[in-house]
Amino acid sequence: KQLEYTAQKGFINLFGEQRLSGALSSHVSGVSLLRQDYPTFVENIIRRSLSVLNNHTNTQKNKAKSLNFTYNSTPTNTTNTGIKISHLNIDVAARMFQRKTRRIRGWGLEKRLVNNFIKLNNTKNHTERCYLATHSLPTQALNFIVNAYQARIWNLMANFRMEKYGWTTVFGDLIKHSNGSIYCWKNNSVSRPPLEAVVLPLYSSMKKPHNMCKDLLREVLREDGINVTSMRHVKQKYGLYGSYRRLIVRPHSLSVKKLTNNTLNKVEVSFTLASGHYATTFISQSQHCNTSK
């Protein structure tokens, strides 16, 4: 019932958590790139990666404990010696990460960044060293990182827009016309566009809503130390020319089938979403919706 209700009403088209978390995809890393703060960018990725590795190791240890093996428990944010990862010298943290991932598959981009950072240890200027290590990564990867920050900003605006104005189109909303053009709805003589036509920008130099969403965007960018100059730099460097994302989307061809011979009341759910939308977001919002409204 909840899935069908949400599919009919539509759901807020938020980016999934998997798009915003992780060492490389973290929006925190995106902020550092936009501010051209390469030391913070490199150090954040190395420390976050090391934390993830520790967490993975502890998970494996906990599994072993259930089989009556004995291990010492290590918190995710500390090393085996009890030192907080955030307090580690960055060169020590880099070599620790390199050692831990030597026989582990994956972590290709993180390994590339760390290995190049270590190779550049004779570079006298730390900022230059971090700049060179950062740009040893493919442009596509850096693009992806900046997009993570854009996704976070978009999610903040979308949640704010829905909490402030609700499930109806309001003056100042950006509307995507059937011909693909974007305009701001602020004319009483024009009939109210459907909420499905409302879009929000994915890049700050695009058109902005003429309502409090614009103020929110300006405030968040100010708090993060991002200015128009930073955005222009990234636009030129990584080819990010911006786009618009629909505020509300609906899945198609929803099917919910109860499985036979099933004592746990499990169901099989299938539906179709356009590219760029998140099934996890639809499922999550369906679980929290109020079908009595």
Residue 169: other Cβ atoms inside 10 A:
19
Tally: H helices and E strands in the chain: 10, 8
Cα–Cα distance measured from residue 7 to residue 174, given in angstroms and rounded to the nearest whole number = 23
Name every residue whose Cβ is closer than 8 Å to that of residue 169 and which is 6 or more positions away in sequence: 175, 185, 192, 193, 194, 195, 197, 198
Q: What is the pLDDT along the chain (293 residues), one digit of tens a residue?
A: 788 888 888 899 998 877 776 555 577 788 888 888 999 999 888 888 887 777 655 444 343 333 333 323 333 455 454 456 555 688 888 888 888 888 777 778 888 998 999 999 888 899 999 999 999 998 888 888 888 888 888 999 999 999 999 999 999 999 999 898 999 998 766 788 999 999 999 866 678 899 999 899 889 888 888 876 666 666 667 666 678 999 999 888 888 887 777 666 777 888 998 888 888 888 888 887 654 44
- Quote the CA–CA distance of 51 and 46 in Å, as a whole number: 9
Give the span between the Cα atoms of 232 and 200, in whole angstroms: 19
> What is the spatial distance between Cα 254 and Cα 3, in angstroms, rounded to a whole number?
8
240: left (phi over 0), alpha (psi -120 to 50) or beta: beta
- Is residue 143 within 8 Å of residue 24, measured between CB atoms? no
DSSP 92-149: HHHHHHHHHTTT-S--HHHHHHHHHHHHTTT-S-HHHHHHHHHTTS-HHHHHHHHHHH
Three-state secondary structure call for residue 234: helix
CB 165 within 8 A of CB 157: no
Question: Please, what is the angle between helix 228-238 and helix 27-34, to 10°?
Answer: 100
What are the structure tokens assigned to 135, written together? 């740009």
- Other Cβ atoms closer than 10 A to 63: 10
173 touches 149 (CB < 8 A) = no
**Contact assessment for residue 3 and residue 250, using Cβ atoms and an 8 Å cutoff:** no
Count of Cβ atoms closer than 10 Å to residue 52 Cβ: 17
Residue 168 DSSP class: S
